[in-house]
Amino acid sequence: MTDVKICGLTRPEDVAAACALGASLLGFNFVASSPRRLTIDRARRVAKAAAPGVGRVGVFFRTAAETMRRAIAEVPLDYVQLHRPVTAGDVDSLPVPIFAAVRIDAGLDALPPDEVLSRCGGLLWDSSAGKGRRQDWSRVPPPESMPVRVFVAGGLDDETVGDVIRRLRPAGVDVASGVESAPGVKDPNKLSLFFAAVREADARTG
């Protein structure tokens, strides 16, 4: 199945529900301006509900490396997702793989250099910033042209995710607001419908 990352998790019960439905990755937001922002202490408590083997991703913007390393150690985190240009220094200094988040509307020029991107854990195309804005998927290059696995985000829900999977066949999809009843509060029914739509699209694309 296409990997599913449920992002912006703020409650243990939502973490447990996402894992039960088959989430591959769980996103915990540390961006100060986000309505889903968690402190490191809160993230540690919420992440305890994660099932074994499900990856925990910390979402950061302009955060000091020392703070990110503390979150990695204390939550703990398996990946870091950076919503800013990723440098070789980031890859060298952080002890977990990085997901490079790049705005779709910024184009290929916004990608890290190949020698940096190839050392990342993944590439996330997203211009939505958790606001549920639908994207122009025609601007996303074929995932197979990238040196790392590609995830897509932005405006995804149970009605739109199937089209994205059939069109791009990404390694994974990332959703936050599309499965919520309020920022940071996941809706059990929307979660179930989302995973069902991913499974259906996978079955149709073979």
Query: Can you give the CATH number for the domain in which 84 is found?
Result: 3.20.20.70
Can you say how many angstroms the Cα of residue 83 is from the centroid of all Cα atoms in its chain?
11
Asked whether the beta carbons of 4 and 175 are under 8 A apart, the reply is yes
Q: Which of 99, 117, 85 is nearest to 28 (CA)?
A: 99
pLDDT at 165 over 60: yes
pLDDT at 58 over 70: yes
Tokens of 201: 């699209």
**Which of the four pLDDT bands, split at 50, 70 and 90, describes residue 131?**
low
Please tell me the pTM assigned to this model.
0.94
Segment 88-110, tens digit of pLDDT: 999 999 999 999 999 988 888 89
**Which of the four pLDDT bands, split at 50, 70 and 90, describes residue 130?**
low
Asked whether the beta carbons of 160 and 134 are under 8 A apart, the reply is yes
Supply the range of the domain harboring residue 95.
Answer: 3-205
Asked whether the beta carbons of 72 and 36 are under 8 A apart, the reply is no
Q: What is the pLDDT of residue 172?
A: 98
| Number of domains composing the chain | 1
